[in-house]
Amino acid sequence: MSTRALPLQPPVFSILSGLIEERIGLFFAEADAPILADKVTPRAIELGFDSLLDYYYYLRYDAGAEQELEHLADALVVNETYIGRELEQLTVMSDVLLPRLLAERPRLRIWSAACSTGEEPVTVAGLLDDRGLLPRVELVASDVSERALALARKGEFSGRALRSLPSGATRWLRFDGTTARARPELLASVSFRRVNLTDRDEVLGVGPADVIICRNVLIYFRDSRIKQVVQGLCDALRPGGYLLVGASESLLRFGGALRCEEHGGAFFYRKEAT
Ligand SMILES: C[S@@+](CC[C@H](N)C(=O)[O-])C[C@H]1O[C@@H](n2cnc3c(N)ncnc32)[C@H](O)[C@@H]1O
């Protein structure tokens, strides 16, 4: 049975949604107030609060709030993803961009920067393995949600995660009834960690990457926040490296240091080589 949402008056909505945007990046418009109340209420109740204003004060000022922000992120994020999502872009990356980069250096680092429950990095690992590139690539995958990361580390997929399987996926996964498991070598090639994209230090702490895949997360941010996150990702890219965003997440309106390139019908943002 779902918990009845605690009241979220406009002034409390304003400060609470502002704090969430500041710390996690997610933007909630005023019209989304009932959705936000629904998602936040179970967290507030679990901590023993009967008002969302008290919960806000806890989040803003209490010493234990950092940990609670992680739980709150788990409750707020949208983890929608599936094996083979927006595959063309990843295929072109593997067939066109990676060979070019590998001509310049022996090993590459690819970072799936909002990997959700792991379907994206497993897809990338599978594509690389198909092409014999996996030994030359270090794969890092991160998300702000520990809950999503715990599932990603298991490498088990079912239901909607398998709804649009590319033909090659039978080489990447072992099927057992309605569940599929990533091949252990593919899963072992990915190192998972928690990174909040709005935290510049955490982003830079991942270390320089040749390719950053940051897809279908910027849609949840406002432009000012997207600009800041993209700047951090650009700083984390090696010169000449590529940023991949989702099909509906054009960065053209921001200008900046990344140049948009089209290859094989897919779009990529390239940091200038120095
Ligand atoms: C819709 S999923 C996209 C997954 C995958 N990249 C794809 O395209 O299928 C969005 C993911 O972004 C993550 N996310 C949201 N805010 C984030 C933040 N501030 N830092 C890192 N990840 C975040 C969510 O936890 C969620 O797993």
Predicted local distance difference test score (pLDDT) of residue 3: 74
Report phi then psi at 241, rounded to 5.
Answer: -80, 170
Distance 211 CA to ligand 1 centre (A): 17
Predicted local distance difference test score (pLDDT) of residue 2: 64
Cβ of 225 below 6 Å from ligand 1: no
Contact 212, 233 (CB under 8 A): yes
Predicted TM-score (pTM) of this structure = 0.97
Q: Which residue type, as a one-letter code, is found at position 224?
A: S
Predicted local distance difference test score (pLDDT) of residue 212: 98
* DSSP annotation string for 74-100: HHH------TTTTHHHHHHIIIIIHHH
Nearest CA to ligand 1 atom 27: 116
Distance 196 CA to ligand 1 centre (A): 10
Nearest CA to ligand 1 atom 2: 79
Distance 81 CA to ligand 1 centre (A): 9
Residue with tokens 């590459």: 108
Give me the sheet containing 173-176, strands edge to edge.
Answer: 156-158, 179-182, 173-176
Q: Which residues of the chain have pLDDT under 70?
A: 1-2
Cβ of 145 below 6 Å from ligand 1: yes
Closest by Cα among 217, 249, 239, 211 to 96: 211
Cβ of 20 below 6 Å from ligand 1: no
Out of 82, 85, 144, give the residue to mutate to test ligand 1, the one with the largest number of ligand atoms within 8 Å of its CB: 144
Distance 204 CA to ligand 1 centre (A): 18
Predicted local distance difference test score (pLDDT) of residue 255: 84
Residue 214: exposure state from Cβ atoms within 10 A (0-12, 13-18, ≥19): buried
Distance 199 CA to ligand 1 centre (A): 14
- For residue 198, the ligand 1 atom closest to its alpha carbon is 19
Secondary structure (3-state) at 238: strand
What is the token pair recorded at 105? Answer: 């250096």
